[in-house]
Amino acid sequence: MSSRRYPALGWLYANTERAGECLVWKGSRSQRGYGQILVSARPNRYELAHRAALRLAGIEIPEGHDVHHRCGNKSCIRVEHLEVLTRREHMRRHRQEVCQRGHRDEWRERPNGQRECRVCRRERQREQRRAV
Ligand SMILES: [Zn+2]
Ligand SMILES: [Zn+2]
Ligand SMILES: [Zn+2]
């Protein structure tokens, strides 16, 4: 990707750290766990970092559309991990989401913004207790 064409996307990426394939925003986070950028002060206005990344990459987010994190990491701003979906499609996508072992709908969020399956977590803890 040409960093000359989108200098600000390069700037955004420079404020991330790698976590696997993800580029995790290092700056402040919204209450819901998304990366955010201060765009104006008094009153403070923020733009969500992953939305800014899309905008700077020339990808529009039409009215009524959501941005979905394919990687499941809310604070990731890597454009390749984001997908613009209608709200309806977005909800459908989340309802379909299953973990590697096929459990549904029981996601919890870890402090680093990544999600994990609650059922798998419980099973893992049980196995660990048994191993002691
Ligand atoms: Zn990601
Ligand atoms: Zn989503
Ligand atoms: Zn699971």
Beta bridge mates, 67: 84
Structure confidence at residue 6 as a pLDDT band (50, 70, 90)? very low
Q: Which pLDDT score is estimated for 130? A: 85
Q: Are 84 and 61 in contact (CB under 8 A)?
A: yes
What residues does the ion ligand 1 have nearby, CB within 5 Å? Answer: 22, 71, 73, 76, 78, 81
Q: Which pLDDT score is estimated for 13? A: 94
CA of 57 to the centre of ligand 3 (A): 34
Which string of b and e fits 98-132 if b means at least 16 CB within 10 Å?
A: ebeeeeeeeeeeeeebbbebebeeeeeeeeeeeee
Q: Is the dihedral of CA 69, 72, 78, 80 positive or negative?
A: negative
pLDDT in tens, 8-36: 788 899 999 999 999 999 999 998 899 99
What residues does the ion ligand 2 have nearby, CB within 5 Å? Answer: 68
Ligand minimally distant from the alpha carbon of residue 120:
3
The answer, yes or no, to whether residue 4 has pLDDT greater than 70, is no
The answer, yes or no, to whether residue 1 has pLDDT greater than 70, is no
The answer, yes or no, to whether residue 125 has pLDDT greater than 60, is yes
pLDDT in tens, 56-77: 999 999 999 999 999 989 999 9
Cα–Cα dist 45/38, whole Å: 6
Cα–Cα dist 40/102, whole Å: 44
User: Pairing relation of β-strands 107-109 and 115-117?
Assistant: antiparallel
Q: Which pLDDT score is estimated for 57? A: 93
In the three-class reduction of DSSP (H, G, I as helix; E, B as strand; rest coil), residue 8 is classed as helix
Ligand minimally distant from the alpha carbon of residue 87:
2
% pLDDT > 90, the chain: 50
CA of 39 to the centre of ligand 1 (A): 23
